[in-house]
Structure 1
Amino acid sequence: MRYLITILGILIVFGLTFIASNDKRKIRYRPLILMVILQIILAALLLNTAVGSFVISGISAVFEKLLLYAAEGVNFVFGGILNEGEFTFFLGVLLPIVFISALIGILQYIKVLPFIIKYIGLVLSKVNGMGKLESYNAVASAILGQSEVFISVKKQIHKIPKHRLYTLCASAMSTVSMSIVGSYMQILNPEYVVTALVLNLFGGFIIASIINPYVVDKDEDILEVQEGEKQSFFEMLGEYIMDGFKVAIVVAAMLIGFVAIIAMINGIFSLILGVSFQQLLGYVFAPIAFIMGIPWKEAVTAGSIMATKMVSNEFVAMLELENHTELSARTVGIVSVFLVSFANFSSIGIISGAVKGLDEQQGNVVARFGLKLLYGATLVSLLSAIVAGIFI
């Protein structure tokens, strides 16, 4: 029964994607089948083998060590604020982003990340049947972030056609930046975070290939990566440290606002209808949770958490998931994979704003297909959760 629901879930995801396709005749099925098979193999490898456990343990250990280093800086500045033994989300989860951002800047400066991003992107372009630019952008989004990635290709932004621009933005919304992966790992099981990162990379190509199918001419398939202005090492380091701090502050502000607003709306709904807003959303999203492989008795709660992510952000939903200790381990695993992406309403503004900052006309184009971006990115998360659920 479990596998029948999984197959049904995958078929429904593809059906929902197919309905939204811009040109059904241009869909190329061979790369799609190959990428789905790759997703299943990678999910099995990461979740069901000793090799996968070793890889995830290694990645988790690296981030654990990095977060310990980050804690040194946080404690030096804020150590006197906390009572001993207490945990504060802002200090413990968000401020380490500053250190991770600085580390990314150093790896950028010494040309390690550009090399990795470019050549992994080139390999991916052979698998997904898409252009070099799209493949580069997907890998770069997973490392640099959904707004910063567009700066690296700003030489091309003004001449990218609408159909290719959609794919670039969809990749950015379907992934998460490396600077906050460590923060996710403090809330969710690292096993599910790493699995989601890998599956979303291919899922983004799969969904975009159906919603927005096209063939890139060889003459158009040019990748021009912006190196940025030449800076001294310490200029660069200061810039990345401040960027990391801005991200931490923005996430903190959004959490304060969204958590408070959701609490207020829950209170109003409970007063009028006797049921909270999140519970109401849970009933709406329960069928979606069910086709992900979640038992029906837990589907309403899981659906509520999934909906919370869409209307607010992934951090709010992750903290909500942490509160539901009654959920089974399998449900927690599937929902965790679903939550690891930037697929929410606020990301539409972030991405269109980032593009608009580089080219106003192109930013307006992105804003116009914003809801379709969110639709596609949510289907990516749904597909990743279903595939991961086979092995959880």
Structure 2
Amino acid sequence: MDEHYEKETFLLRIQAINKTFLENHQRAINIIAAMVAIIGFHVYAGFAIAHDFHKALPLFVLMLMTYAGLLYFLLVKQWLKKLEPILQLTADVFSRIWNFTLFDISICKVISVIIILAAFLVWIIIDSANSRIRLRSVGGMAMFLFFAFICSANPSKIKWRPVICAVLLQFIVGVIVLRWPAGNEAFRWFSEQVVTFLNYAMIGTAQTYGFASSPPEICGFSAVFIFSSLQIIIYFGAVVGVLYYLGIIEAILSRIAWLMQYTVGTTAAESLNAAACIFLGQTEAAILIEPALKTMTESEIHAVMAAGFACIAGSLFSAYIAFGACPTYLLSATVMSASVSLAMSKLLYPEIQESRQKDIGSFKFATSKFSVIVSIH
């Protein structure tokens, strides 16, 4: 009994010493661990690139994006803060010129819209010179917008900036993906990486379920849904949960939402939801903006629902590909639909109330309900 008590006391002392050491040297331990992880990652990346650059290209791209982010936050952003007075003065002058009105008409805005629309029409006419039948698609889009205007809840309250800018943003993405060789190649490469990433779930599924996940094609017998496609959905949801816990999802989506807010002109919640629908899907995007749902206007709720139905969930990406869909077209379609869904929603249900979440910088994301990165239920 005494021997057991002495061993337990000794272990408690060791535990207390370790706890005290960790508390007193927490900062140093974190720095050392971070340095070891960073050095180890760069060593691994170096060997991977030297062994096969083609396979290591996604890792190399992620490294470049990380370096660019660090360069911006550590150097460029600090440098811009020093130039803030000059930038603010320039912004004020530009704002006065941009908002200059004559007979209650914003001259610069009207001229800009006319120039953009004229350039758009000229390009369409020149590009379709060899096949005028292609102009039918423009007529189809015009009819959709026309019927949305007729069916609008408040036609006189429609703000045309979100409508025009969202349609132009969709057109720009379409040109980049379909007509620009470099953009098409970039989208194709990115879609291939998404497919590769989602197919990792099938490797784990094959090891877990074996024959049930990939049976031979005999008598029309195919893989069971719960052992194949459903595993991809679970895998994607788990990865998104980890990225959300680490704050990576917030960082990516807030930048996309900022771009959509300042180009299309929608509020923070609408822009964030549309950006989230590109990758997450309708349900997950709504959970992401949970803090704003209670205070959203009816027009914003309509925009949230429209964006959710316009895009596909990232977890279903691989399932559609398994049915024979082209990954590049799927990815480009969901990106294009995210912006134009805002245009259609603002046509059908214009904003007539005062929004409480106009600035993406003040938007608060839903906090993670887990205290650790991996939770077992």
Normalising TM by the smaller chain, what interval?
Answer: 0.5 to 0.7
Residues 172-321 of structure 1 mapped to structure 2, 5 A cutoff: 172-187=308-323, 188-214=325-351, 217=354, 220-221=357-358, 223-235=363-375, 238=376
Which of 175, 179, 185 is the aligned partner of 1:44?
Answer: 175
* Larger Cα-atom Rg: 2
Structure 2: 5+ residue stretches without partners:
1-131
Q: Deviations over 1:16-53 (max 9, x none)?
A: 21122111112222342232222222112112222223
State the SS of the aligned residue for 2:295. coil
Residue 143 of structure 1 deviates from its aligned partner by 2.7
Supply the distance in 1 between the matched residues of 2:190 and 2:237 (Cα, whole angstroms).
17
Structure 2 partner of 1:65: 196
**Aligned pairs (5 A) from 1:1-392:** 1-81=132-212, 82-84=214-216, 87-88=222-223, 90=225, 91-187=227-323, 188-214=325-351, 217=354, 220-221=357-358, 223-235=363-375, 238=376
Cα 1:96–1:196, aligned 2, differ >3 Å: closer, same or farther?
same
Q: Letter of the aligned partner of 2:373 in structure 1?
A: F
- The 1:214/1:67 distance shift into structure 2, 3 A limit, reads closer
Change beyond 3 A, Cα 1:225–1:183: same
1:64-110 C-alpha deviation (Å, 9 max, x unpaired) = 32233211211122212354466526244342222222221221121
Counterpart of 1:52, as a letter, is G
Once residues 157 and 167 of structure 1 are traced to their aligned partners in structure 2, the CA distance between those partners, rounded to angstroms, is: 12
TM-score norm. by structure 1 comes to 0.55
What is the one-letter code of the residue matched to 1:120? I
What CA distance in whole angstroms lies between the structure 2 residues aligned with 1:23 and 1:177? 31
Indicate the SS of the match to 2:374: helix
Separation in 1, partners of 2:243, 2:368: 14
Q: 1:161 to 1:30 in 2, by over 3 A?
A: closer
The answer as to whether partners of 1:46 and 1:53 remain within 8 angstroms in 2 is: yes
Query: Which AA in structure 2 matches 1:224?
Result: K
1:20 alignment partner AA? C
How much has 1:3 moved relative to structure 2?
2.7
Mark the runs of 5 or more structure 1 residues left unpaired by the alignment.
240-392
Amino acid at match of 2:223: T
Distance 2:186 2:311 in 1: 20
State the AA in 1 paired with 2:349. Answer: N
> Are the counterparts in 2 of residues 97 and 183 from structure 1 also a CA contact under 8 Å?
no
Percent identity for Structure 1 against Structure 2: 21
Give, in whole Å, the separation in 2 of the partners of 1:123 and 1:217.
22
**Distance (Å, rounded) in 1 between the aligned partners of 2:162 and 2:367:** 31
In structure 2, how many angstroms separate the alpha carbons of the residues matched to 1:168 and 1:52? 28
2-structure distance, mates of 1:160, 1:64: 35
1:267 corresponding residue in structure 2 = none
Counterpart AA for 1:214: E
Q: CA RMSD in A?
A: 2.3
SS of aligned partner of 1:141: helix
Amino acid at match of 1:175: C
Paired residues of 1:47 and 1:191 also in contact (CA < 8 A):
no
Cα 1:106–1:47 change in 2 (3 A) is: same
> Residues 135 and 67 from structure 1, CA distance in 2 versus in 1: closer, same or farther, beyond 3 angstroms?
closer
Q: Any conservation in 1 of the 2:242–2:374 contact (CA below 8 Å)?
A: no
Given the superposition, is the C-alpha separation of residues 216 and 143 from structure 1 closer, same or farther in structure 2, using an over 3 Å criterion? farther
Amino acid corresponding to residue 363 of structure 2 in structure 1: L
Partner amino acid for 1:136? L
**How many residues are aligned here?**
237
Higher relative contact order (CA 8 A, sep 6+): 1
The two structures have a TM-score, normalised by structure 2, of 0.58
Q: Distance in 1 between matches of 2:224 and 2:333?
A: 23
